[in-house]
Structure 1
C-alpha cells in the first residue's frame, strides 16, 4: 500500500470546444464554485473544433479566483519549451500561483506534422521531453547564476536570460504510459498523469514501480511525485461501468486507487455541469473522509510529502509531520520555492522554520494548535508591512492569514463592512469605492488589515473620521485555546475593547466589522519644500495643521537632499471631500512655509491614493525606529528633532496629524487611550549612531508612543503605549482570554496574576 503523502485533490477535465466558448468558461467557473481544486483542458492545437488551450487557460485564470489550472496535457511538439516556461511563469504570477504544467511528448504525429511540427520516433519524443523539462526548469531558476544553456538534440538554448520565476513551485506532470516515459517521470517530473481508460487493471501498480525505482536511482524520494488519474463516468441508480452509479458507489470504487495505488488527484472528464457538481459536492468530500478513516482503522496514518532536498533545512523544535492535511498543502518550509516570498516582512528579514497559511478561521485554529505544541516562537502576519518586524521570526512558526482577504458590504444603510484580516487596505478601498464608502487606513495600500486595525490606524482621513479602530464594531477572533468567537457590543465586549489597540496580544483576528465613511472623491495634494531651517519648518507646519479644518489631514516626511543638499520636506495632504474651493483655501497656507520645489493637487477617488502596490516582501533592511505621540510640535521638540537630523542621529522624520476626530473618542473607550495629542512623530535611527540617538531621544521626554512605529520592545515602552489604568485593564482581560500568554511575541502584555482564592 504505497503512501506518497499527498493530500487528496479533485479536478475537472473539460473539452475546450469552440462552438460555445462561454459554456466552457462557465463549466470552469462552476467547477470552482462547487469546490473542485483543479480545472484542466486537453490540448490538441491541430483540432479545428477546439479553442487554443493556452489562450483558454489565460482567459479562465482571469475569470476565476481560487481554482488551479492546467493543460491535460500540453502538446510539447507545438509549444517551444523556453517560450512555454515564460508563459507558465507569467500566468502563474498574474493568477496568484494557480497554474500547473501538464506535459505530453506528442502522439498524433500526422496532425502535428500538418501544423508544422517535426515528426519524432517514440524514443526521440521522450528525449525531447526530457530536454524540454531542463529548459523549462532552467528558465524558472532565477537563483542560478549565468545565462541558461541547454545543448539538446531537439531543444537547445544558448545564453537565454532566466526568468521570470513563477509565483509558486509549478509542478510538471507528465502524461505517460510506456516504460521510457515512466522512467522520465521518476527521474525529472513532479507528477504522473495517465487516463484510467487507457490502463489495464495492473498498469497503475506496474507504473508506480517503474517510477519509484527510477526516482530512487536518481536520488529522489518517490513521494516527491504526485500520482494523478483522469476518470470518466456518470451518476445514476446503477450501471455496468466502473464509475457508473450513485456517489456512494464511486467512493467505494475510487477508494482502492487512493489506498492501493497512491493516487492523490482524481480528475473527472465531463462537460455535464450536474456530473461535475455531484463529483465535487458528494464524491470528493466522502472520499476525503474515507481515506484517513480507512487508514486509521488499519492502524496507519497518512504521511506528509516533503521533498528530500528540503528535509535537511528543517528547524529543530518543530514537528513537521504533525501538520493536519488541511494545512499541509499550503505550508511553506525552508527549501520550498515559495519560501523567499513568505520568510520576511516588507522591512525585516526573517527565517522562520514553518509558515502556515490557513484559509478559514477553522484552519487558523488548527494552525494555532500546531504552533502551541511546538517549542518555538510564534508570529502572526496579516500583511507583513509593519515597521516593528514582529510578523516574522527566526526558527519559529508564522501564521499568515493573508488568504482571509474578503471584503463585503453587509449593511449599506449602516455603512457596515466586513473585512478579512488578511486583506490589504488598497484592496479594501477599491472594493468599497463603488458604494461611495471608504475606511481611513494608513497611507499605503499594501498594509494588511489585521495589524493596522487592531493597533490604531493613523490614516489620511484621520482628522475627519478618527483612527481605523475607532470604527471597528465587531470582530471574529481565534482565541488561544482554539475557540472561534465573535466580539461585539453584545458578545465579549471586554475583548472587543482590548482588540481596539492591543489586538495582537489577545488572539488572532480573522475578520473585522467596520463602519465605513461616506467618501467618494477627495482632494489629494503633495508639496515638496526646501526645509533647510528644519526646526522652524517643523514648528510652523505643526501650527498650521492645528489651525486647519478637520477635513484636512496632513502627513509630513523630512529626508536628506541629494549629494549633501538641504533637507527636503514632503507634505502629503488629503481633504476629505470634493469641495475643491474649500480645499484650496486650506492648502494654500502650506505653500508659504518655505521655498516650494514641487507642488501638485488633484481631485481623485480615495481608492486611487491608497492603491495596492503588491511589492515583494524580501526584507529591505532593518528599520530602527522611535515613536512619540505629541500634543504640539512646540519649539523645544522641533529643535531637538531637527538637531538629531542635522547630527546624523536620525535619517528620516515623519509627522502624522492625529488630532480632530481622533480625540473625540473618550480615552477609556478603547485600548488605544491617547486622545489628547495632535501629532504622531516617528524617526528612523542611524544604527551607526544608535547610542547618540538614544541619548538625544531621551531628552525629548516622550511619555506616549504608538507601538506600530516602534522597533524597540522594552517594558518601559509598554507603559508609554498604555497608560496605567488601560494597561491594568488589559492585563485582566489577557488573563481571561490568554492566561498562558501564548500571544507574547508582539509587545507582550503579561496577564494579571490570578486572584487569591477565598479562604
Structure 2
C-alpha cells in the first residue's frame, strides 16, 4: 500500500560520503575520483574543524573539484559556528565559479559544542543555533544577490553585517541543504532551505514520515511549494553482498527494491553511501543507480508524476502574459529560467542591452534546440537567439518574449589535426576556442574579445586580429548543422543544401539556429602583439597616416584603432592594436616601427605571445552596460576627406568611442559572390558609438560620412531601418537572400537579426549572381 507522503518528482542523485582522513589523504581523493569514474553525481565530506584526525573540509572540497570534471562536491554538512556566513558565502560562490557550477552548500547549526567552544567560539543553545542558522541563510543569499540595490546590511543578533558589497554570485543556483532532525530545524528547512540532508540511522524522533510532514507544513506556511525542497539521505549501515542480510545489505537488485519506496512513498531523491569501500562505490554507481533510475522513471510514467521544477508562488506571480509556460517540453523546462527565478538576472541581459524576456530556454543539444524552436513558434511573442550575448545590436534579448540561450552547447573539438578541421558549438567563447586550439598550433581569426560567442560571429563575418593574413571567420566554415524554422535539423555544406550554406556565411541568424560548425583552422602559434597609445588631437592626420601604413603593410599585419575621450584629458586618445601573424620578430619590427610616427606616442609595448593570450575569455556577467546606439560602415581607403569627417565626429563630443578595423588582404581574396557577406574590396570597417540621448546628433554626423561609405558590417549596427539592408547586403545579394528566406523561413520566425523579409512570389526574380 502506498503511503500518503508524495514523490516530489526530483531528478535522482547518487553519491558518496567519504571520511576525510588526514592519515591517508591520497586515498580520500582517490575515493572521490572513483565516485566520478563510477558514474555517481556527488562526493560529500563531513566537516569537523576541531578534529585533528580530519583534513580541512573546505580545502578538500576545492582539491577534489579541481581533480574532477563533472562531479559535484558538498560538505555533509559544514559547521556554521566555525565558518562565518559572510565569508562562507564568498568562498562558496568562488568554488562554484571555479568548478563551473559543481558546488552545493550543505550546512549545519553545529554539534559537539565542547570542541567548538574549545576553538574560541561562544557556545549556543539549541534554540540559538537555529536562530543563527536562520540569519546565516539570509546573509549567504544576500551576498549572492548581485542584482539587489545597495550593500548588504543585516541587523542580526548572531551575525551583524553593518554593510558589505554583494557578490560574487555563484555559477549556478547553489542549493542550501540542511542537516536537520529536530522540529525547529525541520521547520527552518521547510521555510528557507533547498534540501533536507539527514543520515538514515540518526532519524528517530520524529520519524521520517513525520519529519517530511513538518518540512512540508513549514514550506506551505512560508508560501513555498514543498517540491522546492530536495530530500537527501546518507546511508551508512549498508553493504553489497550475494545474499540478503537486512535493509540495504544484499545484492544490487535488493537495494533497488528497498530504495524504490523511499523515492515513491517518502520523496527522497538523493542517496549518499557512507562506506569507504571501493567495490561498494563501483556497484552503487554502475549497477544500483542506473537500475533505480529506470524503476523510478517507469513508476513515475505510470503514475503521471510531475517531474518539472517546482516554482514558488512569488515566482509564479511574475510570469508574463502571452507565454504558455505549462506547455514547455519537460527537457527544456528543467533548465528554463523565468522571471522570479534566482538565475533570471544572470540571463536576462546582454553585454550591451538590458532585457526582460518572459522565458529563457537553455537547450543542451541540437534536439532540444529543435524543441525550443517548435515551442517558441506556438507562443506568438518575440524570439531572440543568443550564443554569447556580446552582439552590439542587443538583439539576443527582448522584452516579454523568448530567448533561446545556446551557452550549454559549448563543445570544442579538433576533428583532424592533419587537415586542421575542427568542430565548434555556438555557445563556446572564442577565447576558449583559442585556448583549446593552442596546444595543436592552430587558431582562427575571430574578433578581438575572448568572451564573444562562436555562433553569432561565425555566421555574420568575423573581423579579427588575423583577418588580413587569414581572412574572415566565415571564410573558414566548411560545414554547419542548423535547426530550421520548422524544427528540422539539417547539415549544410557545399554538397548538402549549398544555397543555405552560402546564406549562413554572412546572414546566418536569419535562416535558423546553428548548433555546430566545422571549420578549417590556420597554422598559428605565436604572434607579435603591439599596443600604442597616441595623442589624437590631430585626429584627421593620425587617421590618414595610420590608414596609409596599414594598406602598405604586408598582410601579416592587422591593426585596430580606437579613439576615446578620457575624463582626465581634454583631447582624445587613440589606442592602436597591431598584430603581426607570425613569430619572425625582425620582420615584425620592420613592419611595426613606422607606426611610431602616426602621432605623439604616449605609451608603447610589444611582445611575442601565444595568440590565445591576446584573446583570453573574461567570463564576465552581463548587465546591459549601454552603448545602445552604434553606426557601422565600410571604407575603401581613409582618404583626406574621410579623415576630416571622422575628425569632426570624434571632436563633436557626441560620440563616446570610435573604432576602425583593418580588413583587406586575405578578406578580399574571396570572390564577392562566394558568401552572403559581399564586401570584398574595402579595407576598413568603421564603428561609432553614442549614448541614447545623443542618437539624433550621431545620425546627423553619420549622414556626413555616409556618402563616403560603401556598405556596412551589420553586427556593429543598431539601426534596423529596412533601408540599411542594402548597405549590408547590396544587390544582387539581398535579392538572393530574400528568395532563400522564402524557402527556409517563409514565416519569418528568425526576424531579430537585421530581419530579411522573405521574397514575395509576385515580385520579379532578381538577376542571378555574376
Give 3-state SS (helix, strand or coil) of 2:582's partner.
coil
Q: What are the within-5 Å matches in structure 2 for residues 365-376 of structure 1?
A: 365-376=370-381
Q: Could you say which residue in structure 2 is the equivalent of 1:52?
A: 56
Structure 1 residue 508: deviation in Å?
Answer: 1.8
Q: CA deviation at 1:443?
A: 0.9
Question: What does residue 161 of structure 1 align with?
Answer: 164
CA distance in 1, matches of 2:275, 2:733: 61
Change (3 A) 1:739 1:256: farther
C-alpha deviation, 1:561, in angstroms: 4.8
Distance (Å, rounded) in 1 between the aligned partners of 2:331 and 2:76: 26
- Normalising by structure 2, we get a TM-score of 0.91
Distance in 2 separating the partners of 1:480 and 1:204: 50
Separation in 2 of the partners of 1:169 and 1:217?
A: 23
Would you say 1:492 and 2:493 are equivalent positions? Answer: no
Write out per-residue CA displacement over residues 453-496 of structure 1, whole angstroms, 9 at most, x where no aligned residue. Answer: 11111001000000011111122323333333333344433333
Partner of 1:742: 749
Task: Output aligned runs, 1:618-637, within 5 Å.
Answer: 618-637=623-642
1:402 equivalenced with 2:407 (yes/no): yes
Aligned to 2:766: none
Q: Is contact 1:140-1:162 (8 Å) kept?
A: no
> How far is the alpha carbon of 1:135 from its aligned partner?
4.2
Q: Secondary structure in 2 aligned to 1:156?
A: coil
Distance in 1, matches of 2:633 and 2:275, equals 63
Equivalent position of 1:528 in the other structure: 533
Q: Deviations over 1:514-552 (max 9, x none)?
A: 222111221111222223332333233222211110111
Instruction: Name which of structure 1's ranges 87-96 and 409-418 shifts more when overlaid on structure 2.
Output: 87-96
Does the 8 Å CA contact 1:347/1:619 hold for their aligned counterparts?
yes
- Is residue 9 of structure 2 the alignment partner of residue 2 of structure 1? no
User: Could you tell me which residue of structure 1 aligns to residue 519 of structure 2?
Assistant: 514
Number of equivalent positions? 754
Are the equivalent residues in 2 in contact too, given 1:194–1:230 (CA < 8 A)? yes
Q: Which residue of 1 aligns with 2:731?
A: 724
Alignment of 1:349-388 (within 5 A): 349-388=354-393
Displacement, 1:344?
0.8
Q: Which of 65, 85, 90 does residue 89 from structure 2 map onto?
A: 85
Which stretch shows the higher mean deviation, 581-590 or 659-668?
581-590
* Aligned residue in 1 for 2:433: 428
1: distance between equivalents of 2:26 and 2:495?
47
Whether the aligned pair in 1 keeps the contact of 2:151 and 2:163 (CA below 8 Å) is no
Query: For the residues of structure 1 that align with 2:504 and 2:37, how far apart are their CA atoms?
Result: 34
**How far apart, in 2, do the equivalents of 1:244 and 1:732 lie?**
68
Match among 328, 337, 359 for residue 332 of structure 1: 337
Distance, in Å, in 2 between the alignment partners of 1:375 and 1:286 is 42
Matched, 1:188 2:195: no
Q: Which moved more, 1:518-527 or 1:474-483?
A: 474-483
Q: How does 1:544-559 map to 2 (within 5 A)?
A: 544-559=549-564
Aligned residues of 1:686 and 1:693 also touching (Cα < 8 A): no
Question: Is 2:152–2:166's contact at 8 Å kept on the other side of the alignment?
Answer: no
515-524 or 16-25, which moves further after superposition?
Answer: 16-25
| Aligned partners of 2:412 and 2:424 also within 8 Å | yes
SS in 2 for 1:370: helix
SS in 1 for 2:500: helix
Does 2:696 match 1:691?
yes
Contact 2:308/2:333 (<8 A) preserved:
no
> What CA distance in whole angstroms lies between the structure 1 residues aligned with 2:328 and 2:740?
31
Judging changes above 3 Å, is the alpha-carbon distance between structure 1 residues 508 and 57 closer, same or farther for their aligned structure 2 residues?
Answer: same
Q: Which moved further from structure 2: 57-66 or 317-326?
A: 317-326
Task: Please give the alpha-carbon distance, in whole angstroms, between the structure 1 residues aligned to 2:420 and 2:335.
Answer: 35
1:117-128 correspondence runs (5 A)? 120-128=124-132
Q: Is the 8 A contact 1:474 1:512 kept in 2?
A: yes
Aligned counterparts of 1:8 and 1:285: Cα–Cα separation in 2: 10
Bigger mean CA offset, 407-416 vs 246-255: 246-255
SS of 1:570's partner is: strand
Q: Distance in 2 between matches of 1:30 and 1:396?
A: 44
* Residues 689, 78 of structure 1: alpha-carbon distance in 2 compared, 3 angstrom cutoff: closer
Tell me if the contact between 2:182 and 2:206 (Cα under 8 Å) persists in the aligned partners. Answer: no
Q: Any conservation in 1 of the 2:627–2:691 contact (CA below 8 Å)? A: no
Q: Which residue of 1 aligns with 2:677?
A: 672
**1:309-348 alignment runs, 5 A limit:** 309-348=314-353
- Residue 660 of structure 1: aligned partner: 665
Given that residues 525 and 599 in structure 1 are in contact (C-alpha distance below 8 angstroms), is that contact kept between their aligned partners in structure 2? yes
Residues 662-686 of structure 1: per-residue CA shift (max 9 Å, x gap): 1111222222221111111111145
Return 5+ residue gaps in structure 1 as ranges: none
CA RMSD of superposed structures (Å): 2.9
Q: CA deviation at 1:406?
A: 2.4
Matching residue of 1:708: 715
**Residues 3 and 303 in structure 1, CA contact (< 8 A), matched pair in contact too:** no
Inter-partner Cα distance in structure 2 for 1:361 and 1:25: 36
Change (3 A) 1:547 1:622: closer
Cα 1:249/1:485, change in 2 over 3 Å: farther
Aligned with residue 470 of structure 1, among 463, 470, 475: 475
Q: Residue by residue, what CA displacement relative to the aligned partner does 1:620-679 show, whole Å, maximum 9, x if unpaired?
A: 114211111222222332222322333345332211111000111122222222111111
Number of the residue aligned with 2:645: 640
* Structure 1 residue 572: Cα displacement: 0.8
Conservation of the 8 A alpha-carbon contact between 2:32 and 2:43: yes
Q: Please, which of 518, 524, 542 is the counterpart of residue 537 of structure 1?
A: 542
Structure 2 equivalent of residue 220 of structure 1 = 224
Decide whether aligned partners of structure 1 residues 333 and 65 sit closer, same or farther in structure 2, where only a CA change above 3 A counts. farther
TM-score, scaled relative to structure 1: 0.92
Aligned equivalents of 2:643, 2:39: Cα separation in 1? 59
Structure 2 residue 20 is matched with structure 1 residue 13: no
Q: CA deviation at 1:69?
A: 1.8
Q: Corresponding residue for 1:72?
A: 76
- Given that residues 352 and 392 in structure 1 are in contact (C-alpha distance below 8 angstroms), is that contact kept between their aligned partners in structure 2? yes
- 2:608 counterpart of 1:608: no
SS for the counterpart of 2:628 is coil
CA distance in structure 1 between the partners assigned to 2:67 and 2:402 by the alignment: 34
How big is each residue's C-alpha offset from its partner over 1:340-362, in whole Å with a ceiling of 9 and x where there is no partner? 22111111111112222233333
Match of 2:398 among 370, 393, 411: 393
Instruction: Say whether the 8 Å CA contact 1:6–1:305 is kept in structure 2.
Output: no
Does the CA-based 8 Å contact 1:432-1:438 persist in structure 2? yes
